[in-house]
Homo-oligomer: A and B are copies of this chain.
C-alpha cells in the first residue's frame, strides 16, 4: 500500500470519512473536498464568491454529462443491432430521476447528504438522492478522470445495481402513474385533445394534460394513444413524480 493511501486511511484526521467513502466507492478517493461538495445540497450551501454557492449543483451538471456519455457507450456496445431511438429511450430510463433516486437510496446516500431537513416537508426532496448521485459522478471524474469513472460506473454501479435488461422491458405507464398520483393527492386530472393536424400521410394529434386546471403537459404524436402517453409523461416530469 502506498504511503499516501495508508496515511489517508489510518492516520489522517479525515480517516473516518475516507473509510466511509472507500466502502461506498470501492476506491480510496483523492481530493476529499470534491466528494464533500457532491454531498452538499443547496439547502445548506453558503454563498462563496460572486453569488455561487458551494452546493453540489455544478458537480451535478458535470456528472450528469459524464454519466450520460458512459451509459451511451455501454448501450451502444451492448445492443449492436438496436437503433438510436431504442438506445435513447433505454438511456433515459437508466438516468431517470426515479432510477437514480432508487440507486442513491440503495447506496445509503441518506446518511451522507448534508441538507436542511425542512426540505423534506416541502416536497422538494424529490430528486435529492439522484442529484447527489450525479454530483458524485462529477466528483469522481474530476478526481480520477474519464477512464477511471467509466470503469467505476460499469463495474461498481451498473453491474451491481442496475438491471438494464429489466429496464428494457419496463414500459413506464405515465398515464396510470399520473392518475394514481392525482387520486392520492385529491387533484382533478384531464386529458384533452387540443390539436389535430393533417400531415402528409398521417394525422397528428395534440393532447393536453391538465391537473387542477393547470396545463402541465402537451404531447404530439401520430396516434391519440401515444400523444396521451407523451403528454402524461411530461406532466409527471413537471410534477416530479
Contact = CB atoms under 8 A, between A and B. Distances in A.
A241 interface: no
Nearest to A147: B146
Interface in A189-241: 194-197, 204, 206, 208, 213-218, 220, 238
B58 A76 contact: yes
Which of under 10, 10 to 19, 20 to 34, or 35 or more describes the interface residues of A?
Answer: 35 or more
A204 B238 CA distance: 13
A87 B72 contact: no
A50 interface: yes
Given A68-B68, A195-B213, 13 more contacts: A51-B81, A52-B80, A57-B83, A57-B84, A58-B87, A62-B73, A68-B69, A146-B150, A195-B215, A204-B214, A208-B215, A215-B218, A217-B218
Nearest to A210: B195
Interface in A52-81: 52-53, 57-58, 60-62, 64-66, 68-69, 71-73, 76, 80-81
B195 A206 contact: no
A118 interface: no
Nearest to A65: B72
Contact of A61 (B50, B65, B84, B213): B84
Contacts of A150: 146
A176 interface: no
Contacts of A14: none
A72 B61 contact: yes
A49 interface: yes
A81 B208 contact: no
Contacts of A5: none
B68 A65 contact: yes
Given A52-B81, A58-B83, A83-B57, A238 B215 contact: no
A204 B212 CA distance: 14
B81 A61 contact: no
